[in-house]
């Protein structure tokens, strides 16, 4: 599915490049063509104006007048050899009110856009310079590629978002289906084992075996309960956080090496939060197990709990081998693991439990190879 999504993104990117590139080239072609046509129009307008001035009184000036009045979109400024503005057309004169430099600012702008059209008076040899700007049509054609680019970018964003949302929905359904099926498959043998344990309890000689077997069966029941809760949205109940965390730490401590030290710090003795206890314990258990794996049998695991009126922060820190910078962005991806055994789903499920079910945050606060890693959980504090 990831490859399919990646291929879709590449295809959309290539389509966007083709559309934008083609649009830019064609728009540039049109802009150059319109610019050449406008320069020809300005030259004709200049010739018509001079022709009208120098024509005899009885000459037919209908054509010349038509040419002069036909230009209603190209702004033109006429200056003499001294740079003094003589005439201007198609420029918004209302903007010049209170601004004596407005027309000269426009002149400076036009000089950058096009070279002037120079007219030399045949009688006295004086030169007039006609500077002109882009018409509204030319400006629209020049800006069209930007508009097209925004449209294409919006199309890509909407399409990628739709595909991503669809994939996420399918993934969520797959998670739920797998979790429910796992809980269902575990349910029957666990129930059967519970029955066998009860039968063994009837014989006092089996007391020691029965106690240990009952612990394992209860553990299997807990795992089944966790998977059933992942398959559907669990209900959150008021819990005391410090006691909840300490319970998991005690469970992990019994299974850890004697060379591993567990430290717990908290700025309060009673911290009320809304939790799904079974799922939250799973998250803490995953983080502690990962910390144990990172220590490789020796070191310190510190759990630091800090609360404020609005939220609770839980930092799980180990002094293990750390996470390389290349792997930091992948630690929560499904299937990622540095262990020889394992499916790479523990942290993925943990992040889902904290962020989707508890509306909190789970992320790597810091990590340095050879020195250790800190995972941070952020939860909302309840009003308890």
Tokens at 323, concatenated: 């996470």
Separation of CA 348 from chain center? 19
State the angle between helix axes of 136-201 and 207-230 in degrees (0 to 180), rounded to the nearest 10. 160
Radius of gyration of the chain from its Cα atoms, rounded to whole angstroms: 39
Residue from 142, 152, 163 nearest 26 by CA: 142
Q: Give residue 340's pLDDT.
A: 59
Beta-carbon contacts of 292 under 8 Å, excluding residues fewer than 6 positions away, are 252, 256, 260, 301, 318
Residue 18 confidence (pLDDT) above 90: no
Q: Given pLDDT bands bounded at 50, 70 and 90, which one contains residue 57?
A: low
pLDDT tens digits, one per residue of 113-128:
889 888 888 777 888 8
Other Cβ atoms less than 10 A from the Cβ of 89: the count is 15
Tokens at 196, concatenated: 């066998």
Domain positions in the chain are 75-133, 234-380
CATH code given to domain 234-380 = 3.30.565.10
Residue 311 confidence (pLDDT) above 90: yes
Q: Give residue 361's pLDDT.
A: 94
Q: Give residue 380's pLDDT.
A: 92
> Which range scores top for mean pLDDT: 81-95, 102-116, 185-199, 304-318?
304-318
* Dihedral class, residue 299 (left if φ above 0, else alpha if ψ from -120 to 50, else beta): left
Q: 24 versus 53: which is more confidently predicted? A: 24
Q: 242 versus 181: which is more confidently predicted? A: 242
Residue from 96, 82, 67, 93 nearest 129 by CA: 82
CB 10 within 8 A of CB 160: no
Q: Given pLDDT bands bounded at 50, 70 and 90, which one contains residue 258?
A: confident
pLDDT tens digits, one per residue of 370-380:
899 999 999 99
Q: Give residue 1's pLDDT.
A: 45
Give alpha helix (H) positions in the chain: 2-54, 62-70, 102-113, 136-201, 207-230, 241-253, 277-295, 325-328, 346-352
Q: Give residue 97's pLDDT.
A: 77
Residue 3 confidence (pLDDT) above 60: no
pLDDT tens digits, one per residue of 172-231:
666 666 666 666 667 677 778 778 878 888 788 777 888 888 877 777 777 777 677 665
């Amino acid at each position: 599915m990831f490859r399919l999504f990646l291929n879709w993104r590449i295809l959309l990117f290539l389509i966007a490049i083709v559309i934008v590139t083609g649009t830019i080239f064609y728009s540039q072609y049109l802009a150059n063509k319109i610019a050449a046509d406008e320069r020809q129009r300005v030259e004709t307008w200049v010739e018509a104006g001079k022709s009208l001035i120098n024509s005899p009184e009885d000459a037919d000036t209908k054509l010349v007048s038509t040419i002069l009045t036909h230009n209603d979109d190209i702004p033109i400024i006429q200056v003499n050899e001294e740079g003094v503005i003589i005439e201007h057309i198609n420029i918004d004169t209302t903007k010049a009110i209170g601004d004596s430099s407005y027309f000269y600012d426009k002149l400076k702008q036009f000089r950058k856009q096009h070279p002037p059209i120079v007219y030399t008076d045949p009688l006295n040899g004086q030169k007039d310079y006609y500077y002109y700007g882009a018409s509204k049509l030319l400006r629209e054609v020049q800006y069209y590629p930007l508009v097209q680019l925004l449209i294409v970018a919006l199309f890509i964003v909407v399409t990628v978002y739709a595909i991503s949302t669809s994939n996420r929905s399918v993934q969520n359904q797959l998670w739920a289906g797998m979790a429910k099926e796992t809980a269902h498959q575990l349910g029957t043998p666990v129930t059967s084992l519970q029955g066998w344990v009860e039968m063994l309890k009837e014989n006092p000689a089996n007391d020691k075996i029965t106690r240990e077997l009952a612990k394992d069966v209860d553990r299997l029941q807990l795992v089944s309960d966790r998977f059933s809760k992942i398959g559907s949205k669990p209900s959150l109940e008021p819990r005391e956080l410090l006691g909840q965390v300490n319970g998991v730490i005690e469970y992990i401590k019994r299974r850890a090496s004697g060379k591993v030290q567990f430290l717990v710090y908290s700025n309060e003795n009673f911290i009320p939060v809304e939790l799904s206890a079974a799922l939250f314990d799973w998250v803490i258990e995953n983080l502690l197990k990962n910390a144990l794996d990172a220590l490789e049998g020796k070191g310190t695991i510190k759990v630091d709990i800090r609360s404020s009126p609005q939220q609770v922060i839980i930092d799980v820190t180990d002094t293990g081998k750390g996470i390389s910078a290349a792997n930091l962005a992948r630690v929560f991806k499904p299937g990622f693991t540095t262990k020889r055994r394992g499916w790479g789903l523990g942290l993925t499920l943990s992040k889902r439990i904290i962020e989707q079910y508890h509306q909190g945050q789970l992320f790597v606060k810091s990590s340095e190879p050879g020195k250790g890693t800190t995972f941070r959980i952020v939860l909302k504090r309840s009003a308890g």
